[in-house]
Chains A and B, each alone.
Chain A
């Protein structure tokens, strides 16, 4: 079955979404991510969506839910690399992903996670 890889970098998990997300894939990612946070004792999660051109309301909600779940498991989530068109669409849909922190790219996302860890 198709899965989105989750990479471990120190106490951080890096998820780079490079294929179009469909709902089943999103749910699998949620399951995988939560179990990996516990297994690897991760303190931070970085979700890179720079390759995504389309984010629908389901994926948007999935991302904010995942962030909330990670928070309960004591890991901070940073969403990076959102395209302008995606940002405009999400705002028009009324999904401002409250509670999810964002950064322009992976580099800045890592910085942000390190800052909060200190």
Chain B
């Protein structure tokens, strides 16, 4: 990296800030189809701030090393911007365009500025190009990271949403399971159920598997573990919502459900549970 060319960038950025900003915004806005997502004013503000920070960084670190500590603030701004654009529903390309569309007006300025010195111009264009590529890639990387964290959060929420424990009656809990049961979910199911047993003092829990599409040996084993854990705490479990095909699979797999009360429907299981807690349901006499 020749030291002769360094310093030009900072000077050009400082001297032509307004021209660059206009050129940049023009390029960015013309390329952005979905202009409504970020107000133009916000982009203008971000762009202005970005140029200021880059000038500061270039002055501190004339080697254009984007990983260096001088560029911390720039990295921070880009990360923040990427995260915001993930939430607003931008594509990675639209996000990276923010950086790349500054190249064009900047190169135009460079050409005018270094018109007399072709060698310096070539070197400066290469270096600046490399720097902006790094920044663009960094933006996309941050975009990806933010998107992944959003997905993780949604997964967690889905996990909690899909395993509710409801109280049907005094001392009777129900756990309607929906979706495929894997080890991670079973753990959450088990913990939720046991916690709720403690909270409500329930003595019977109905595990309803109407919404579980397939039951293999692993799922059956998970269910049996949950039943065993609840039993250790002094609560009985009834498994309900077993469809004919699932009953067939369970028998074919040789899973032993003999120690567990099983019912075909939640209604049947509920009646058994009521009987066990000493409650009876009678049809009210209607006067004719």
Contacts and interface: CB of A to CB of B under 8 A. Distances in A.
B and A form one assembly: yes
Interface residues of B, number: 18
A102 interface: yes
B111 interface: no
Interface in A63-110: 79-80, 82-84, 86-88, 90-92, 96-97, 102-105, 108-109
A87 B233 contact: yes
Given A80-B234, A102-B234, A104-B234, A87 B201 contact: no
Interface string B166-210: 000000000000000000000000110011011001110000000
B234 A103 contact: yes
B203 A87 contact: no
Contact residues on A (Cβ < 8 Å of other chain), bracket: 10 to 19
A87 B191 contact: no
Chain B interface mostly: helix
B246 interface: no
Contact of B235 (A86, A88, A104): A104
Given A91-B225, A104-B203, A108-B203, A84 B231 contact: no
Contacts of A102: 231-234
B228 interface: yes
A109 B225 CA distance: 23
A67 to B, nearest CB: 13
A79 B231 CA distance: 11
Nearest to B236: A102
Given A88-B190, A88-B191, A82 B232 contact: yes
Interface of B: 190-191, 194-195, 197-198, 201-203, 225, 228-235
20 contacts: A79-B232, A79-B234, A82-B232, A82-B233, A82-B234, A83-B233, A84-B194, A84-B198, A87-B232, A88-B190, A91-B225, A91-B228, A91-B229, A91-B232, A92-B225, A102-B232, A103-B234, A105-B201, A105-B234, A109-B234
The 3 closest A-B pairs by CB, nearest first: A84-B194, A103-B234, A102-B234
